[in-house]
Amino acid sequence: MMYLIIDILGAAAFAISGVLVAMDKKLDFFGVLIIAFVTATGGGTLRDVLVGNTPVFWMLNPVYLFTILGAVILAIIFVKQLKYLRKTLFLFDTIGLGLFTMVGIEKGLAAELIPPMCIVLGTITASFGGVIRDILCNDIPVIFHKEIYATPSILGGICYFLLSMFPIEPVYSYMGAIVLIIVLRLLAVKFHITLPNIYRVKK
């Protein structure tokens, strides 16, 4: 049950971030809906295909479609209020990053993958919806430049497996990893922490 709740919350968070990006690009309602949908489901769809879980998750449970549609409608209705909050898009994207990382790791564990592969799967789940969103909106995906994006997912996954080695309730390992991912992403943006640019030429 906790897994489903986290998955749905992540879908809603990413759908809202997709709506805000699409509306900034001045897309029509259908375009906004498509961008929200691929942002919320793109990473999970790729994840399920990789582990052979077909039909993919959103085809098996209509709750995801209703959640995404509801998030789109609410975001459109309250878009003016959301736009007054300068960090809204970033905040929803960051929350989705933390939630979806753990959903992907859980899927990897269910497929009996080793921890490193589970972390890769979690990173794909969390990141690739945003990659598809940015490509469709004609932007360079955030994961490929400028900001630390996938790194918090990787570190959060490592944190989860380290915490799971201790005699504590699984929910604390889950929440600890999610909080770490969100905090690392917030700190990276606040203090302009980036990975080295290998193409930077010293003058």
Residue 86 has pLDDT above 60, yes or no: no
Instruction: Find out whether 171 and 102 touch, Cβ atoms under 8 Å.
Output: no
Residue 113 has pLDDT above 90, yes or no: yes
Residue 37 has pLDDT above 90, yes or no: yes
pTM, entire model:
0.86
Which DSSP symbol is given to 138? Answer: T
With a CB cutoff of 8 Å and minimum separation 6, the contacts of 3 are 103, 106
Mean pLDDT of 57-86: 84
Mean pLDDT of 122-128: 94
With a CB cutoff of 8 Å and minimum separation 6, the contacts of 72 are 15, 19, 32, 33, 36
pLDDT at 85: 59
- Range with lowest mean pLDDT among 60-64, 91-95, 104-108, 171-175: 91-95
